[in-house]
A and B are shown apart, each in its own frame.
Chain A
Amino acid sequence: MDSSFLPAGADNGSAGGANNGGGAAQQAPPIREQDRLMPIANVIRIMRRVLPAHAKISDDAKETIQECVSEYISFITGEANERCQREQRKTITAEDVLWAMSRLGFDDYVEPLSVYLHRYREFEGEARGVGLAPAPPRGDHHHHHHSVPPSMLNKSRGPGSGAVMLPHHHHHDMHASMYGGAVPPPPHHGFLMPHPQGGHYLPYPYEPTSYGGEHALASGYYGGAAYAPGNNGGSGDGSGGSASHAPPGGSGGGFDHPHTFAYK
């Protein structure tokens, strides 16, 4: 496929994504050298965000970071995939990725990424508009996604993917009851599953506590502010879509409020 020669902009766009997705779905020939690394322009732009203006970056440092990023993706993916296989699932989910990071020592990443994933799902829900969707919340996401890259449509409808949805939904219920009605974010569903399996997952117990704390924070601010910020998450009716989105609507409002508070 020639998709690998698309401009970086196209790569970032959904159209480019669809093309590349098609290539990936068709099990394209061995990965090209060019596809093995992140685009160097993107990498440099990110590096500069943390460097002072007068800093220079040598070419070998740029290339080294490119290599390190690909190794990082492969490292985390390998661990996430092992978990999938152990649990006889075929699809690597976002929760598997977060779990793998925690297991491999990237604990600092898990909490902000959980928040990011939660907010991303809220965004997806809002983008889809109001309307009762199929029962499994995750199915909603897939329905939205498959309209962009056709190849993902096939993947998301695979029996393995279907099998994944039910357990997640079940754990969502359990988790909700654990939190006495306060709705935790979907990322925790995946994390709950391995916890009972013993000491292997010791790093995990911290995560729900941490997020519970965040939720409490959000709840506190929400109680005090009564939706004063009037942001998207705070729209009166909350998300009318899937059941999993209605409570996150309120939760989203809570999260947006601390953000506003932080800027005061």
Chain B
Amino acid sequence: MEPKSTTPPPPPVMGAPIAYPPPPGAAYPAGPYVHAPAAALYPPPPLPPAPPSSQQGAAAAHQQQLFWAEQYREIEATTDFKNHNLPLARIKKIMKADEDVRMIAAEAPVVFSRACEMFILELTHRGWAHAEENKRRTLQKSDIAAAVARTEVFDFLVDIVPRDEAKDADSAAMGAAGIPHPAAGLPAADPMGYYYVQPQ
């Protein structure tokens, strides 16, 4: 075991002021980091394309950035680590429903508890955007379906949300957005699928 209690103090100079919290999914705006040996492996920031017809897509991407900044802020603000908004025992039971799962470390359900919160918030947030597009004030299953259809990372949910409903929902969304795209089922080939972008 390497003793670390007397490690050299970190350098106090941090260059330009840094907006806090940093935008998730993007490289940090600050200067080079002495603690980042893997800096050369930064993935390119996933910026949505900016043709005029994707103004709504750009707005959606911005909404997502705000969403994740808020998530980050909430986690930084967490002080209660004893009470979780989702029961750990239930999470563990769902994990163990898979017969191949043998033992689960105590921290795994803790991480899942927070992850599921973020998942619920993201799915609800995206679903609500669809409800607003249709000028409704009630979040419906079709809104969730539309969010799933539009977001590649949620592809694993297509069996949970009926595909027909997703198509109808997206078709309605496209109609509302004034885009003549009859085949509303979104292909998963879009590499930027995670950020909502109008089909070209």
Cβ of A87 within 8 Å of any chain B Cβ, yes or no, is no
- Determine whether the beta carbon of B156 is less than 8 Å from that of A75: yes
- A57-70 vs B, CB cutoff 8 Å, 1 = contact: the mask equals 11011011101111
Task: Please report which residues of chain A, range 143-171, place their CB below 8 angstroms from some CB of chain B when the two chains form the complex.
Answer: 145, 152, 155-156, 158, 160-161, 164, 169
- Determine whether the beta carbon of B77 is less than 8 Å from that of A31: no
Task: Please report which residues of chain A, range 93-107, place their CB below 8 angstroms from some CB of chain B when the two chains form the complex.
Answer: 93-94, 96-98, 101, 104-107
Q: Which residues of A contact B159 (CB under 8 A)?
A: 71
- Determine whether the beta carbon of B141 is less than 8 Å from that of A61: yes
Q: Which residues of A contact B87 (CB under 8 A)?
A: 8, 11-12, 16-17, 20, 38-39, 42
- Determine whether the beta carbon of A176 is less than 8 Å from that of B2: yes
Cβ of A196 within 8 Å of any chain B Cβ, yes or no, is no
Q: How large is the interface on B (under 10, 10 to 19, 20 to 34, 35 or more residues)?
A: 35 or more
Task: Please report which residues of chain B, range 64-84, place their CB below 8 angstroms from some CB of chain A when the two chains form the complex.
Answer: 67-68, 71-73, 75-78, 81-84
Task: Please report which residues of chain B, range 124-163, place their CB below 8 angstroms from some CB of chain A when the two chains form the complex.
Answer: 124-125, 127-128, 131, 137-141, 143-145, 148, 152-153, 156-157, 159-161
- Determine whether the beta carbon of B84 is less than 8 Å from that of A12: yes
Number of residue pairs spanning A and B whose beta carbons lie under 8 angstroms apart: 346
Q: Specify which of A54, A64, A210 is in contact with B160 (CB 8 Å cutoff).
A: A64
- Determine whether the beta carbon of B116 is less than 8 Å from that of A56: no
Q: Which residues of B contact A112 (CB under 8 A)?
A: 24, 68, 71-72, 75, 114, 118
Cβ of A193 within 8 Å of any chain B Cβ, yes or no, is no
CA distance A219 to B87 in the complex (A): 35
- Determine whether the beta carbon of A61 is less than 8 Å from that of B139: yes
In chain B, what residue has the closest Cβ to A94?
A: B107
Task: Please report which residues of chain A, range 39-82, place their CB below 8 angstroms from some CB of chain B when the two chains form the complex.
Answer: 39, 42-43, 45-47, 49-51, 54-58, 60-61, 63-65, 67-78, 80-81
Q: Specify which of B12, B93, B143 is in contact with A61 (CB 8 Å cutoff).
A: B143
Q: Which residues of B contact A3 (CB under 8 A)?
A: 89
- Determine whether the beta carbon of B112 is less than 8 Å from that of A73: yes
- Determine whether the beta carbon of B10 is less than 8 Å from that of A223: yes
Q: How large is the interface on A (under 10, 10 to 19, 20 to 34, 35 or more residues)?
A: 35 or more
- B73-107 vs A, CB cutoff 8 Å, 1 = contact: the mask equals 10111100111111111111111111011111111
Q: Which residues of A contact B96 (CB under 8 A)?
A: 24, 31
Q: Specify which of A38, A81, A184, A210 is in contact with B28 (CB 8 Å cutoff).
A: A210
In chain A, what residue has the closest Cβ to B68?
A: A108
Given contacts A36-B94, A169-B1, 8 further A-B contacts (CB under 8 A): A16-B87, A35-B90, A64-B145, A65-B120, A68-B160, A76-B112, A91-B104, A106-B115
Top 3 nearest A-B pairs (CB, nearest first) are A223-B12, A220-B14, A20-B89
13 A-B contacts, Cβ less than 8 Å apart? A23-B89, A46-B85, A58-B140, A97-B108, A108-B68, A113-B111, A117-B110, A119-B81, A160-B103, A181-B7, A216-B30, A217-B20, A262-B73
Which chain A residues have a beta carbon within 8 Å of chain B's beta carbons?
3, 8, 11-12, 14, 16-17, 19-21, 23-24, 31, 35-36, 38-39, 42-43, 45-47, 49-51, 54-58, 60-61, 63-65, 67-78, 80-81, 85, 90-94, 96-98, 101, 104-109, 111-113, 115-117, 119-121, 123-124, 135, 141-142, 145, 152, 155-156, 158, 160-161, 164, 169, 173, 176-184, 202-203, 205-206, 208-210, 212-224, 238, 243, 246-247, 254-255, 258-259, 261-262
